[in-house]
Copies of this chain bind each other. A is one copy, B any other.
């Protein structure tokens, strides 16, 4: 399948690389910034462009991997080529593309990407959706060329998934930051916590989080929680976070 990549950010980079490695020719890479377009285009042996007027219509699929707000205007521009258009956004409905073309779908990789980190794409869950069954089947087939984990997820489900990913990834990462700040104040290295962080994530790869919850809240150990809150007395924001999350754990435990 000939593929054109619109965008040059983290998602565009990882997807273009995965497609290329799976044997799909990448026709062009578009970015408003020619330097970024060139960098990725060189990497996946494609032509770099920084103007949508330079689009080569000899492609089978446009993959729009840009900021959410930019998806619709770009789709409006590309619709005239009558080729399949997909976006890669968790927070954007299929409807956004369907305003401009029925030849539309979603190809949402559920992972946290950094340009500087290599990643085994084969394990990345790909959530696909198409305007009709033919498109969905086509995207399904394409998805399996780059990943083992392909899911059919509709726009309503994907919206929830995107929210859930904030709780599963963005918020834990922030809490890692908080723990590092606490350590730094006492001249302790973050290395002390790294094995704990990894083990916590590895535990839920096979088990469910509720079954492996540890810590003072799940034991309803009020003495320890009071001591922790006292240690945080100079930081009311962290106290509030501590209280809310501990209450959540206590409720979770009472429910199960």
Can you identify 27 A-B contacts, CB atoms within 8 angstroms? A69-B223, A125-B191, A125-B195, A125-B196, A151-B188, A160-B183, A160-B231, A161-B192, A165-B215, A166-B215, A167-B175, A167-B178, A168-B175, A168-B179, A168-B193, A169-B199, A170-B213, A170-B216, A171-B172, A173-B203, A174-B245, A174-B249, A174-B252, A178-B248, A194-B205, A240-B244, A244-B244
**Stretch from A76-84, A106-114, A133-141 that touches the partner:** A106-114
Number of copies: 2
One digit per residue, 1 when the CB lies within 8 angstroms of any chain B CB and 0 when it does not, for chain A 183-207 equals 1011110111111111111111100
B244 to A248, Cβ gap below 8 A? no
B164 to A203, Cβ gap below 8 A? no
Chain A residues within CB distance 8 Å of chain B: 68-69, 91, 110-112, 114, 117, 119, 123-125, 127, 149, 151, 153, 156-157, 159-180, 182-183, 185-188, 190-205, 208-210, 212-218, 221, 223-224, 227-228, 231-232, 237, 240-242, 244-245, 247-249, 251-252
A182 to B163, Cβ gap below 8 A? yes
Among A117, A151, A163, the most chain B Cβ lie within 10 Å of the Cβ of A163
A170 to B214, Cβ gap below 8 A? yes
Known: A163-B228, A166-B216. A149 touches B195 (CB 8 A): yes
A209 to B174, Cβ gap below 8 A? yes
Known: A172-B175, A176-B204, A213-B174. A183 touches B164 (CB 8 A): yes
List B contacts of A202 (CB < 8 A): 198, 201
State the CA gap A217–B103 with chains docked (Å): 33
Known: A164-B183, A167-B179. 13 other contacts (CB 8 A): A68-B221, A111-B196, A119-B199, A156-B186, A161-B188, A163-B231, A164-B178, A164-B180, A165-B193, A165-B215, A167-B176, A172-B201, A180-B210
State the CA gap A6–B188 with chains docked (Å): 29
